[in-house]
């Protein structure tokens, strides 16, 4: 019997499902993909796009084009509520779309609780498209003066944004930016000391200032204020304070983990609703909470595809195995990187070359669906 599969988001965890949409439609099932943009940007290459190592076209998937080419329906919109009992999703537009089986890959977002007023000259590191606006603004400012750039946060995103913003204003005819990272403790606090040491050395070598023990309370256009009352002024502020899952699950009354992510079992299936699945940053894996890194979304891909078909066809589900240690490579913006997979750690040009190769190969695999 024909059923309706709804994919909320076309991100990393849904790539294999998107590439196999014809399998679903050929079995008579309808597939609808809902996403607030016609493209999905690969976050792992976002800082590199800011620094112009990559063009926007090199780091995005043409989700709408692929879905429609594969026989699915694409809906441009944002989901604001899931009525799990009725089996429907409500969009920001007010439209409601029913489903028989649903999978969520709606990603994560940067908390905005510290931000007051409009986002003029304030750039959250997600959505990735916003980094293009930041790039244009930095060029505009650097063409006539030395721009001051503040980055709130101390994790990998803050480090990669700082390094790539530095690269951006080293072009002829531009004034080099004065860049300052404002971090509550230190940079890369949750990473091994060796990773932190290499990142610190790279940033300091390029004159990027790191302000430690900076407890930011208020961010508004042109100014960042700490809890102590001390303020610092900037032309541009990036907010890279980590990410949290989409609030749609909590606001819809669907069980979530302590972080607000959709609570899923070993089959990546909602613990309360057997016809809802999820992957990537928006879930909380009940068996063992996962770090918010793209590798888990990639590992979840095949399991989600398999289990969505199984749910539609009434067959047995496959359990997800998170796997062991994963590789981390950071793009420092100057053509170098930091490579870490326990126990191997090294920095330099080779680290970036490996990251660039892996990222481009990943993009080529799924961008091939567009042609």
207 located within any domain: yes
Helices (DSSP H) in the chain: which residue ranges? 15-19, 21-26, 46-50, 63-69, 130-142, 156-168, 193-205, 248-251, 294-313, 349-367
229 located within any domain: yes
The predicted pLDDT at position 294 comes to 87
Whether 1 shows a pLDDT value over 80: the answer reads: no
82 located within any domain: yes
Domain extent for 308: 4-108+243-326
Do 138 and 196 belong to one domain?
yes
Q: In whole angstroms, what is the distance from residue 27 CA to residue 347 CA? A: 49
pLDDT digits (tens, 9 = 90+) for 198-213: 999 999 999 999 999 9
Confidence tier at 370 by pLDDT (50, 70, 90): confident
Average pLDDT over residues 146-171: 96
Q: In whole angstroms, what is the distance from residue 62 CA to residue 37 CA? A: 9
3-state secondary structure of 144: coil
Domains in the chain, number: 2
Whether 117 shows a pLDDT value over 80: the answer reads: yes
161 located within any domain: yes
CA 238 to chain centroid:
15
Average pLDDT over residues 129-142: 96
3-state secondary structure of 42: coil
Q: In whole angstroms, what is the distance from residue 281 CA to residue 261 CA? A: 8
Do 215 and 267 belong to one domain?
no
Nearest CA to 318 out of 358, 351, 277, 364 is that of 277
Do 134 and 237 belong to one domain?
yes
Do 148 and 79 belong to one domain?
no
In the 8-state DSSP scheme, what is residue 238?
A: E
345 located within any domain: no
Select from 209, 242, 275 the last residue of a domain: 242
195 located within any domain: yes
Do 83 and 159 belong to one domain?
no
Average pLDDT over residues 35-51: 95
pTM summary value: 0.94
pLDDT digits (tens, 9 = 90+) for 324-367: 889 999 999 999 999 999 999 999 999 999 999 999 999 998 89
pLDDT digits (tens, 9 = 90+) for 227-239: 999 999 999 999 9
Do 15 and 52 belong to one domain?
yes
332 located within any domain: no
3-state secondary structure of 99: coil
Q: What percent of the chain clears pLDDT 70, i.e. is strictly above it?
A: 100
Q: In whole angstroms, what is the distance from residue 267 CA to residue 275 CA? A: 11
Do 62 and 103 belong to one domain?
yes
pLDDT digits (tens, 9 = 90+) for 221-278: 999 999 999 999 999 999 999 899 999 999 999 999 999 999 999 999 999 999 999 9
Q: Which residues of 243-280 are buried (b: 16+ CB within 10 A; e: fewer)?
A: bbbbebbeebebbbbebbbbbbbbbbbbbebebbbbbb
Select from 212, 242, 272 the last residue of a domain: 242
Domain containing residue 154: CATH number: 3.50.50.60
Do 203 and 296 belong to one domain?
no
Mean of per-residue pLDDT scores for the chain: 95
For the purposes of burial, counting CB atoms within 10 Å of the CB of 110, is it exposed (0-12), middle (13-18) or buried (19 or more)? Answer: buried
């Amino acid at each position: 019997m024909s059923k309706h599969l709804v994919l909320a988001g076309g991100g990393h965890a849904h790539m294999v499902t998107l590439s196999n949409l014809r399998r679903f439609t050929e079995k008579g099932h309808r597939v609808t993909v809902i996403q607030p943009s016609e493209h999905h940007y690969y976050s792992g290459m976002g800082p590199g796009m800011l620094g112009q190592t990559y063009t926007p076209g090199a780091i995005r998937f043409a989700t709408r084009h692929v879905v429609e080419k594969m026989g699915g329906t694409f809906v441009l919109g944002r989901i604001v509520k899931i009525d799990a009992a009725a089996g429907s999703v409500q969009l920001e537009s007010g439209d409601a779309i029913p489903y028989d089986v649903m999978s969520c890959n709606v990603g994560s977002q940067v908390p905005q609780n510290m931000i007051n007023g409009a986002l003029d000259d304030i750039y959250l590191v997600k959505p990735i498209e916003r980094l293009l606006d930041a790039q244009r603004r930095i060029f505009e400012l650097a063409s006539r003066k030395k721009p001051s750039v503040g980055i709130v946060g101390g994790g990998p995103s803050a480090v990669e944004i700082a390094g790539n913003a530095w690269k951006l204003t080293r072009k002829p005819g531009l004034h080099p930016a004065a860049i300052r990272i404002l971090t509550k403790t230190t940079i890369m606090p949750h990473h091994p000391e060796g990773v932190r040491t290499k990142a610190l050395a790279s940033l300091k070598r390029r004159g990027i200032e790191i302000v430690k023990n900076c407890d930011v309370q208020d961010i508004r256009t042109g100014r960042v204020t700490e809890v102590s009352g001390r303020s610092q002024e900037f032309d541009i502020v990036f907010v890279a304070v980590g990410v949290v899952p989409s609030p749609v699950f909590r606001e819809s009354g669907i069980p979530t983990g302590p972080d607000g992510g959709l609570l899923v079992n070993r089959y990546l299936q909602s613990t309360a609703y057997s016809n809802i699945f999820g992957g990537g940053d928006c879930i909380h894996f009940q068996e063992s909470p996962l770090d918010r890194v793209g590798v888990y979304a990639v590992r979840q891909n095949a399991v989600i595809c398999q289990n969505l078909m199984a749910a539609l066809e009434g067959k047995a589900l496959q359990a997800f195995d998170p796997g062991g240690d994963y590789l981390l490579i950071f793009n420092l913006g100057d053509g170098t990187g930091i490579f870490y997979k326990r126990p191997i750690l090294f920095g330099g040009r080779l680290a970036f070359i490996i990251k660039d190769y892996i990222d481009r190969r990943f993009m080529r695999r799924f961008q091939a669906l567009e042609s």
